[in-house]
Structure 1
Amino acid sequence: MKIDGSGKMIQQCAKLNRKKIWLRGIAFTVALGAMCTFVCDLSAADSKKPRKDRRRSPPPTEWNKRTASEFYEDAFSTLEGVRPDFSKQMRTASSVVKGSEAESSEIAGGGFKWSALVSAETLVDEIKNVKSNVDKAVVSPTEFKGGGYKSGRIGFGSIALSFAVIAEYDGDARWKKDAENARDLFARAGFNCKTATDQSFNEAKARAADLESLLDGNAITTKGEREGDFIWSQTAGRPALMTRLDAAEKIMSAAIASKSDFSKAIEILLHEVEMAAVIGEVIQRTDYEYNDDDTYRGYASAMRDAAVKARESAKKNDYEGANTNIGELKKSCDSCHGDYRS
């Protein structure tokens, strides 16, 4: 089929229209892309600006009935039983520490009585019993340097401790007149036994002779040297006292192994629990390590109190009571040893 001139013109116009439509499409696409980029840039810039806090709506002053019905008018009215007084519990907990502090202040003020913890006879017997250990320690310089100085340190520490309590005892006690001087002499010998030297051996030997003379009824003529006021930590080191306490625990355990053992060992048990009570009190005194630690003082006080209760049980021939209280004593000691080291 032939196409005349007007047909060719129509074809050219159609072709030109298609080209215009294609160019307009490209232009629209480019414009749309540029607009999207512009909007994104504005959003990014907007996000970098700090946003102002939105003002919250004020809380309602009144609730409608439907909303109010979801809540109790008085929540406490739904509780059963007596409400716990937590402030009272806090006061009770703090009273444990304050009670220990009050006891210490009573002691410092002279209100405390040593007779509540230990008898004068036990203090005298402790000095007599330890004498054999001291004598063995000073048999010869060789024995002393071979390990005897350790026994001397513990022995002289127990003797010094006993004389220190006798010096402040609220009743009659043997050697009370010479107790302060004896306390200082034996305390120094005990501390010097930390090392095995000729000098510490000679001093230990001299103190052993003084003790022998004292037990024979004679007064100690040697005068102790003291600089400043007496403080309890100068009587015996805490490690020496802990060693004495460990020995007491072993004796106590053997004494309550059975009712039969208990009945046979009441006198020995009384001696050991009273010495444990004394140590529990003394290690809380000023200048002893951890004396300002409430937890440590709590352990020491619990041990002391358990020892006093065990003494009362032993006096009543109460095996069950003694067993229970000695168990509490050992529990306090074990807890203390777990947290503190001598």
Structure 2
Amino acid sequence: MAKARLRATPPGPTWDKASQASFFDDAFLTLTGDRPDFGSVSAPTRAEATDSPPSESAPAGGFRWSSLVSPDTLVDEIKDTKGLVAAAVASPSDFKGGGYDKAREGFSSVALAFGVIAAHDGDVRWKKDAVTARDLFARVGFNCKVGTDQSFSESRARVADLETLLDGSPLKTQAEREDDFLWSQVAARPALMSRLEVADEFLGGAIASKSDFTKQVEKVLHEIEMVAVISEVIQQKDFEYHDDDGYRAYAAAMRDAAVKAREGATKGDYDGVRASVGAIKKSCDSCHADYRS
């Protein structure tokens, strides 16, 4: 037999004046509006309960970078580029003799990767340092348009910063930013076009046969994802031709083809990847015919 629930003894009928003044004599005569139905109100979800402003790691537009690129590809892009930029700044003579152009392309790729890491919706290495790294490497990438003593010194400093991050230590260098962030500030369009050409050359060889594709499928996936990233970035506000419908159509078609190629690569679908890479090249060639840098 269930035990009877014990209830607290109600207070006595006599109230002092201070306590009585805290209540209405008749609440139904004083309050207005319909009586709320608390039973119909659902509990807020965790996302609804959070009232923090969007950060650079969760862009206001809500774009999910994970639909284009994995954390591993972004990290590997940075690691793989370190050797290129280090060789380009090995000596002042190498740098001024043409290495500055290789450094420009390499630093721009690193800046792009850090930019996407900062905005990525997944858990990616270096995310805490990504905004600072993005701005530092973007600046040196733009400054490497020419080979001067100043751009050489800055490049050597950035290589040291890159080694610091790769060794697992946080950045000590601080970036200066006065304006709001724009993707066009990460890398110049010609540098990104150069990165696309690298991807195009590799993919063309990697899909020459099914055996070549199978041997290099991980690298194929890496290059496809970088194509998808660049195709999305060059459509962003303030990029050259970003407001040109024809240019945006080419870029969107290339991105969509890269997404299909990505899906095929993850499944080992050689025929699907080959067809999608062909569509990427078609969009790229058509765009170059009209908007060659």
Shift of 1:194: 0.3
Matched, 1:256 2:207: yes
Q: Which residue of 1 aligns with 2:140?
A: 189
Over the residues paired in the alignment, what is the CA RMSD in angstroms? 1.0
Q: Which residue of 2 aligns with 1:66?
A: none
Matches within 5 A, 1:39-78: none
Q: Distance in 2 between matches of 1:172 and 1:281?
A: 20
Q: Distance in 2 between matches of 1:249 and 1:139?
A: 28
What amino acid does structure 2 have at the position aligned with 1:287? D
Shift of 1:111: 2.6
| 3-state SS, counterpart of residue 181 of structure 1 | helix
Match of 1:179 among 130, 135, 141: 130
What amino acid does structure 2 have at the position aligned with 1:263? T
What amino acid does structure 1 have at the position aligned with 2:176? E
Matches within 5 A, 1:273-292: 273-292=224-243
Q: Distance in 1 between matches of 2:123 and 2:62?
A: 17
What amino acid does structure 1 have at the position aligned with 2:182? I
Q: Distance in 2 between matches of 1:149 and 1:193?
A: 5
1:169-200 Cα deviation digits (max 9, x unpaired): 10100000010000000000100000110000
Match of 1:156 among 103, 107, 119: 107
Number of residue equivalences: 236
Matches within 5 A, 1:1-342: 109-342=60-293
What amino acid does structure 2 have at the position aligned with 1:141? P
1:105-135 Cα deviation digits (max 9, x unpaired): xx97433200000001100000000001100
Query: Greater helix share, 1 or 2?
Result: 1
Shift of 1:341: 1.4
What amino acid does structure 2 have at the position aligned with 1:251? F
Identical-pair percentage: 65
Shift of 1:228: 1.0
After TM superposition, the runs of 4+ consecutive aligned structure 1 residues lying more than 2 A away are 107-111
Whose relative contact order is higher, 1 or 2, with alpha carbons under 8 Å and at least 6 apart? 2
| 3-state SS, counterpart of residue 173 of structure 2 | coil
1:247-286 Cα deviation digits (max 9, x unpaired): 0011111110001101101000000000000000000001
What amino acid does structure 2 have at the position aligned with 1:171? G
What amino acid does structure 1 have at the position aligned with 2:209? S
What amino acid does structure 1 have at the position aligned with 2:186? T
2:59–2:119 Cα contact (<8 Å) kept: no
Gaps of 5+ in 1: 1-106
Q: Distance in 2 between matches of 1:191 and 1:112?
A: 26
What amino acid does structure 1 have at the position aligned with 2:124? A
Higher Cα Rg: structure 1 or 2? 1
Shift of 1:208: 0.3
2:189–2:234 Cα contact (<8 Å) kept: yes
| CA distance 1:287–1:117, shift in 2 (3 Å) | same
| 3-state SS, counterpart of residue 196 of structure 1 | coil
Gaps of 5+ in 2: 1-57
What amino acid does structure 1 have at the position aligned with 2:288? H
1:128-148 Cα deviation digits (max 9, x unpaired): 000011000110100000000
TM-score (norm 1): 0.68
Q: Distance in 2 between matches of 1:227 and 1:254?
A: 44
Q: Which residue of 2 aligns with 1:11?
A: none
